[in-house]
Amino acid sequence: MVETSDIRVVRCGGSKVNLTPPIISSDSRFVLCTSGDLVKVYSTRTEEWLHSLQGHTNQVTGITLNPANHLQVYSCSVDGTVKLWDFIDGILIKTFVIGCPLFAIYVSEKHTGVLFLHVSMATDSKNECFQLVSVHLPKSAEQEVEAKEMSAVSSHISKNPSCTAFGRGGEYIAFARHLQLNVYFFRKQKTYSFSLKATDKKGAKNAFTCIACHPTDDCIATGHEDGKIRLWRNFIHKKEYTYSTQHWHHNAVNTLCFTPEGTHLLSGGIESVLVQWQYGAGNRKEFLPRLGGSILHISASSDGQLFCTSHSDNKITVIESSFKVCGVIQGLVKGDAVLTDLMIDPRSKALVLNGKPGHLQFYSLLRDKHLYNLDIVQQEYIYEAGLDQFEVVKAAFDIKGSWLATVEERGKKSSDLEFFLKLWAFDERTQSFVLNTTITAAHTDRIISMCFSSSEETTMLVTAAEDSQFKAWCQGADADTQQDQNFWSCDFVGSYHKLNPTNCSFSADSSLLAVSFQEVITIWSPDTWEMLTTLCQPPGVIRDLCFGRLSCSKYLLGTTTKNLLCCWNLLTCELEWSTSVDVSKLQPDPFSENVAAFSYQSKHTDLFVFKPSEPRPLFTNKNVCSEKVHRAVFVPREEPLNSCDESTQWLNRSQLYFLTQNMDLLTFSTATEEDRMLSSSKQLVIDDSVAVTPFYLLLGKHRQQQQKLNTQSHPVSDKPQQTQGSVTIKELLHTPAHVLPAASVLCSMFVNSFLISNTGVQQDPLREEMDSEKEEEDSEEEMEACDSQQELRAQGSVDEVTPKLSKAQERELKRVRKTDFSWMAGLIDSKP
Partner 1 sequence: MCLFCVPMPYIRCVVWIMSVWMWKSPEVLLYCRCSEGREPVFISDMASFKPTKVQFLPKLGEKVTEDTLYWKNYKSPVQIKEFGAVTKIDFSPLAPHNYAVTASTRIHVYGLHSQEPIRSFTRFRDTAYGGSFRGDGKLLVAGSEEGLIRLFDISGRVALRQFTGHSKAVHVTSFLSDGFRVVSGSDDLTFRVWDVPSAVELSSITEHTDYIRALAPSKLNPDLFVTGSYDHTVKVFDMRSGSSVMTMQHGHPVECVLLYPSEALLVSTGGRYVKIWDLLKGGQELVSLKNHHKTVTCACLSSVGNKLLTGSLDRHVKVYNSSYKVVHNFDCDASILSMAVAPDDEVVAVGMTNGVLSVRHRKHKKDKETLTSRRRRGPSYRVFVKGKNFVPRQDDFLVSKPVKQYLRKYDKQLKSFEVSKALDTALQTWTRTSKPEVTVAVIIELNRRGTLKNALAGRNEESLTKILNFLLKHIFDPRFSRPLLTVGDIVLDLYRQVLHQSPVVERQLQRLMEVLGREAELQQELLQVLGILDTLFASLTPRKEVAALAALPVDQGPQLQAA
CB 257 within 8 A of CB 300: yes
C-beta of 536 vs 746, nearer to partner 1: 536
C-beta of 346 vs 741, nearer to partner 1: 346
Asked if 373 interacts with partner 1 (CB under 8 A), we say yes
Stretch that binds partner 1, among 207-215, 290-298, 448-456, 694-702 (CB under 8 A): 290-298
* Binding residues for partner 1 restricted to 581-620, rule: CB under 8 A: 593
What is the rounded distance in angstroms from the CA atom of residue 681 to the CA atom of residue 402? 36
Nearest distance, CB of residue 534 and partner 1, angstroms: 8
What is the rounded distance in angstroms from the CA atom of residue 423 to the CA atom of residue 490? 13
Asked if 643 interacts with partner 1 (CB under 8 A), we say no
Nearest distance, CB of residue 406 and partner 1, angstroms: 13
* Binding residues for partner 1 restricted to 217-256, rule: CB under 8 A: none
Stretch that binds partner 1, among 106-114, 436-444, 632-640, 723-731 (CB under 8 A): 436-444
Nearest distance, CB of residue 595 and partner 1, angstroms: 15
* Binding residues for partner 1 restricted to 303-342, rule: CB under 8 A: 325, 328, 330
Of 71, 204, 207, 532, the residue at the interface with partner 1 (CB under 8 A) is 532
Report DSSP letters for 156-192, one per residue.
Answer: EE-S-GGGEEE-GGGSEEEEEETTEEEEEETTTTEEE
What is the rounded distance in angstroms from the CA atom of residue 547 to the CA atom of residue 321? 57
Provide the strand spans (E) within 589-729.
Answer: 595-601, 604-610, 619-625, 629-636, 654-660, 665-670
- Exposure class string for 455-489: b at 16+ Cβ within 10 A, else e: beeebbbbbbbebbbbbbbbbebeeeeeeeeebbe
Taking alpha carbons only, the member of 429, 375, 426 closest to residue 403 is 426
Of 141, 441, 743, 808, the residue at the interface with partner 1 (CB under 8 A) is 441
Binding mask 337-366 for partner 1 (x = CB under 8 A): ----------------------x-------
Asked if 291 interacts with partner 1 (CB under 8 A), we say yes
Of 334, 471, 585, 767, the residue at the interface with partner 1 (CB under 8 A) is 471
C-beta of 38 vs 508, nearer to partner 1: 508
CB 145 within 8 A of CB 138: yes
What is the rounded distance in angstroms from the CA atom of residue 73 to the CA atom of residue 30? 12
Nearest distance, CB of residue 372 and partner 1, angstroms: 5
**Residue 452 to residues 244, 362, 732: CA-CA distances in angstroms?**
60, 19, 56
CB 449 within 8 A of CB 504: yes
Asked if 374 interacts with partner 1 (CB under 8 A), we say yes
Nearest distance, CB of residue 579 and partner 1, angstroms: 23
C-beta of 432 vs 662, nearer to partner 1: 432
Amino acid at residue number 441: A
Nearest distance, CB of residue 264 and partner 1, angstroms: 21
Amino acid at residue number 419: F
* Binding residues for partner 1 restricted to 396-415, rule: CB under 8 A: 410
* Binding residues for partner 1 restricted to 751-790, rule: CB under 8 A: none
Of 68, 93, 152, 434, the residue at the interface with partner 1 (CB under 8 A) is 434
Q: How far is CA 409 from the centre of its chain?
A: 25
Asked if 522 interacts with partner 1 (CB under 8 A), we say no
* Binding residues for partner 1 restricted to 375-394, rule: CB under 8 A: 375, 378-380, 382, 384, 387-390
* Binding residues for partner 1 restricted to 559-578, rule: CB under 8 A: 570-573
Provide the strand spans (E) within 440-548.
Answer: 447-452, 460-465, 469-475, 488-494, 501-506, 513-517, 520-525, 530-536, 542-547
Nearest distance, CB of residue 453 and partner 1, angstroms: 14
The residues, any chain, with a CB within 8 Å of residue 414's CB and separated by 6 or more, are 388
- Exposure class string for 553-565: b at 16+ Cβ within 10 A, else e: bbbbbbbbeeebb
Nearest distance, CB of residue 533 and partner 1, angstroms: 6
Backbone φ and ψ of 353, nearest 5°:
-155, 170
Asked if 427 interacts with partner 1 (CB under 8 A), we say yes
CB 692 within 8 A of CB 794: yes
Asked if 271 interacts with partner 1 (CB under 8 A), we say no
Provide the strand spans (E) within 381-485.
Answer: 391-397, 403-410, 418-427, 432-439, 447-452, 460-465, 469-475
Asked if 554 interacts with partner 1 (CB under 8 A), we say yes
Binding mask 450-469 for partner 1 (x = CB under 8 A): -------------------x
Which residues sit opposite 608 in a β-bridge? 597, 620
Stretch that binds partner 1, among 103-111, 283-291, 336-344, 773-781 (CB under 8 A): 283-291
Nearest distance, CB of residue 527 and partner 1, angstroms: 9
Backbone φ and ψ of 344, nearest 5°:
-120, 125
C-beta of 481 vs 561, nearer to partner 1: 481
* Binding residues for partner 1 restricted to 473-512, rule: CB under 8 A: 477-483, 487, 489-493, 507-509, 511-512
Asked if 623 interacts with partner 1 (CB under 8 A), we say no
What is the rounded distance in angstroms from the CA atom of residue 271 to the CA atom of residue 249? 8
Nearest distance, CB of residue 51 and partner 1, angstroms: 24
Size of the site for partner 1 (CB under 8 A): 75
Nearest distance, CB of residue 30 and partner 1, angstroms: 21
Nearest distance, CB of residue 820 and partner 1, angstroms: 24
